[in-house]
Structure 1
């Protein structure tokens, strides 16, 4: 068995361990699904009447943004889980086992990806209940969901770096919030980027969350000709831009997370 195959096999075991933990502590899954449902209902019924989108119902514009925000927040589970495992000494136990070092990271990111799949299913049902509809083909819709999950998976490796650098999940939650909050709100998730002023508009146009949101809207068919044409390349070619961001994230974060894991286990 090659080293790569061995790492994947060990990673599958770690992923199973993480999924069993969710089964034993269902509160983790309950609260990770309640938050996006709350956002859908809040923006659809409280703020939706005050936000106008040319030529379409705001709820259809909203859902891609909620999906993007949710998978980004879901990616933070990776860092929080790793920080908790370090704090409780679980990483030390893994270290004593005859397993590939990268298996812990592969298993953690994979299990959190599967958790995001379930959350997206729940969100999709909620969106359909409030009036969201997909106007593209089934293959395009599946591509939209796959792109969201791929983006979240790539971002989770970046969250892993932060989780391995801090010494408790509480510190990670505070640190990640400082980054994730502006990324998900200074974007086209809930309003059109053209409505933002000056520097905030430029930031939103080049924000990777804006790219994946625009890509999801395009693949779900939640766009129309009355919406203003974006000025930036990422929002004119959102699918390509998202794939580029994913490639960059993986190329940068995977080796950095692996190196940080080696440092963390040698403390």
Structure 2
């Protein structure tokens, strides 16, 4: 598709089809013509959809991108926002979802229902009611996804794999520590809804370097980080050289003050 802003509800009824924008999601926006229908309704196998902003399918259980009984589809680099559900797979298997921001949807960012053997990687789900929800779904692999500030970051009623042998996903509500500073939490993250566990939760969103002085681990600098810096300064918390804003080799009240100033001014350190 050419660069455009368009209102459509697109039914994909042919297999082996690639639908791709020319210059990325910021330049190719597809709004639901009928908000009570999916924007992209994929009904065939081997379909690739990439590079769109997909929005405003706000009817109950309507999705920006909906895969129904499909296999071997690739959904990548789509900004799926302001729908009831962002990306919804129903009775679908062996599909790949990669690098899709699914943000500010009413219900689910990414939802799998009765779907198996799919791979979800490098997706971001933020400010949804559920970030990623797997219902009656099994043998799916999820890693390098970032679940940020959803009412419920993750939920899984089936049996799925939320990490590879070395790395899992980022959860903004993870409260574990990283004493060896390898970017992986020292304790696991329990996925609500069943018995699934992410054994290698990330300390920071995938693909983003740690934010200097983000001591709270929420990918932003706030007064909480300044308070933690003060705790380090008085010796009630372990030293962390990432808080040495002044560069004098120690953490003092000056560093906490500099963090507070950055918060007030909205600047990075």
Question: Which interval holds the TM-score relative to the shorter structure?
Answer: under 0.3
Give the TM-score taking structure 2 as reference length: 0.22
| Larger proportion of helix | 1
Greater Cα radius of gyration, structure 1 or 2: 2
TM-score by length of 1: 0.23
Give the number of the structure with larger relative contact order, counting CA–CA contacts within 8 Å between residues 6 or more apart.
Answer: 1
Higher strand share: 2
